[in-house]
Amino acid sequence: MKDYEITIGIECHVQLATRTKLFSEVDNDAREKEPNSCVSPVDYALPGMLPRLNKEAVKMAVIAGHALNSEINLISRFDRKHYYYPDLPKGYQISQLYQPIIGAGYVKLPDGTKVRIEHAHMEEDAGKLSHFAGYSLVDLNRAGTPLIEIVSMPDIHSAAHARDYCKELWRIMTYAGVCFGDLYNGNMRFDVNISLAKPGEPLGTRAEIKNLNSFRSVERAVEYEYKRQSKLLDKDEKVVQETRGWSDDTGETTSQRSKEEAQDYRYMPEPDIPPIHLTKEFVEEQKAKMPKLPEDYREQFKGQIADDTLEILLDYQPLMGKLDELARGDALRGPAGPEPQASGSDGRDSAAGPRASIVKRVANWFASVLLAEEKSAEYLNDLPSAKQLDDLAEMTEKSELSSTGAKEVFLKFFDPQMRNRDAREIAKELNVLQENDAGALEKIVDEVLSDPACAKAVEDYKAGSEKVLGFLVGQVMKASKGKANPAAVQPILKKKLSK
């Protein structure tokens, strides 16, 4: 097999998290609802029905556009895209072909690669079809759900980057609060265009893999297409421009229909929806609502949290919000506590800031303790307070807890019986507080050293065997029932033995 360069462009459909549909005043959240129970005469396309635009959908589109680093087009319009299929009773989809609301922008991938956004437009979703022997059933609950379709430039050149791009879009849209991000229920769907070329030669014919709904299937579909197309090109055969479907079960793409056949959407201006004319103030008002995005957190925590740990945590916006709260530190220690240093927006400052070690500690607990647990998703619904986490990190820093003890307490924050208690209270209950008090430790050390069972070790140490120190520390730990802080025990032992 020869080497080919792969070029990928991705179209992503994002369902907006509005209460009602794009053009009708019915419930937009059809999860666990009966078929056709969230449907209005507008969605049925009954004669004489007038669609009315949902203002909230426009606001969300503006926010989404801003999150994509895009220009917002102050004037945008809707167009009719005609196709005949039972999932769309009107016989056309209301979309934006000529003047979309969101202009050119870009998405930055975790490794810094930029993928340019060509544009993004608003449109309505279609209904859902289920196929049976000899007939199909139509559920129109989803018909009319507001979508934005984000169209990337062909800037992606590997399966891994295709996956990263889709995942980053998912993060951005969910962080921005414009999409619920439930991939299983089709909140985001990806169409992936793939073509190959020999190095230096113009792009080959592309195939489009439609309707992928997981990052993994995007990656696998690209890998499969690379193999399929390169085999054809090796044999000097042609790649057909067509739409292909992906099966997670077989791990293959299959031809659905050839594009040459009849893709003629007969676009025309939508006369029912007057144009959208936004003011700059309206756009700025939406921008002001933008919460921190993944890229903001990357900058903020650069150097504080290891890159790979951060990428794991970035999948969970509530966790990042919690770390942000910890990093800011305000209102955690109360008025009597030490003055917290501002560390919010500028990553470089906060990397060296006094909150950095607290943030790092808590980040590592989340990544290595919580997310390693099977029940992580369930845990994430009810995170401990920043105060609880801050106290725990503080106690650990002061060696009041061993790292093992701290993890035990941390897990109890998610225990329904204990979740509202202070870190110290839980530590006491678990009996994991370390003894640091020099006086108390000296007493235990004296006991151990005077124990006849340790006489030999003491003798060996004095004869120059440093190794036995570990054994003696162990004896002290045992005598303290595990509560002594070994780091504090060692110097005391050394001091006493050198007398």
Partner 1 sequence: MEITREEIDHLAQLSNFSLEDAEANALGKDLNQIISYISQLDELDTEGVEPTYQVFEMENVWRDDEIKTQEADREALLALAPEQQEHQIKVPKVL
- Site residues (vs partner 1, CB under 8 A): 18-20, 25-27, 34-37, 39-41, 44, 46, 52-58, 77, 82-86, 91, 129-140, 262, 264, 266, 269-271, 273-277
Beta bridge partners of 115: 107
| Nearest-5° Cα angle at 212, 208 to 215 | 115
Whole-number Cα distances in Å, 192 to 12, 156, 253, 490? 9, 10, 12, 61
Closer to partner 1 by Cβ: residue 109 or 147: 147
Residue 53 Cα distances to 65, 278, 370, 462, angstroms: 18, 14, 43, 87
**Minimum CB separation from partner 1 for residue 431, in Å?**
53
Residue 3 or 261 having the CB closest to partner 1: 261
- Rounded CA-CA distance 315/183 in Å is 13
Strand residues in 102-217 grouped as ranges (E): 105-108, 114-124, 128-132, 135-139, 146-152, 188-197, 207-212
In angstroms, what is the minimal distance from the CB of 252 to partner 1? 18
Nearest approach in angstroms of CB 52 to partner 1 is 5
Name which of 138 and 479 has its Cβ closer to partner 1: 138
Choose between 25 and 308: whose C-beta lies nearer to partner 1: 25
Query: Of the two residues 269 and 337, which places its CB atom closer to partner 1 in the complex?
Result: 269
What tokens appear for 229 in the block? 């197309």
User: Token pair 């065997």 is at which residue?
Assistant: 465
Query: In the beta sheet, which residues pair with residue 108?
Result: 114
DSSP label at residue 371:
T
State how far the Cα of 295 lies from the Cα of 112, in Å rounded to an integer.
Answer: 10
In the complex with partner 1, the residue whose CB is nearer, 83 or 106, is: 83
Is 145 or 350 the residue whose CB approaches partner 1 more closely? 145
**Minimal distance in Å, beta carbon 136 to partner 1?**
5
Rounded to a whole number of angstroms, the minimum distance from the CB of residue 139 to partner 1 is: 5
Q: Which of 164, 174, 169 is nearest to 68 (CA)?
A: 169
Closer residue to partner 1, CB minimum distance, 99 or 364: 99
In whole angstroms, how close is the CB of 38 to partner 1 at the nearest point?
9
How many CB atoms are closer than 10 A to CB 374?
A: 7
Q: Secondary structure of 443-476 in the HEC alphabet?
A: HHHHHHHHCHHHHHHHHHHHCCCCCHHHHHHHHH
How far is 224 from 247, CA to CA, in rounded Å? 11
In angstroms, give the least distance from the CB of 345 to partner 1: 31
Task: For Cα atoms 26, 27, 30, give the angle at the middle one, nearest 5 degrees.
Answer: 130
Minimum separation from the CB atom of position 172 to partner 1 (A): 22
**Min. distance of Cβ 207 from partner 1 in angstroms?**
19
* Count of C-beta atoms within a 10 Å radius of residue 126: 20
- Which CB atom, from 278 or from 479, has the smaller least distance to partner 1? 278
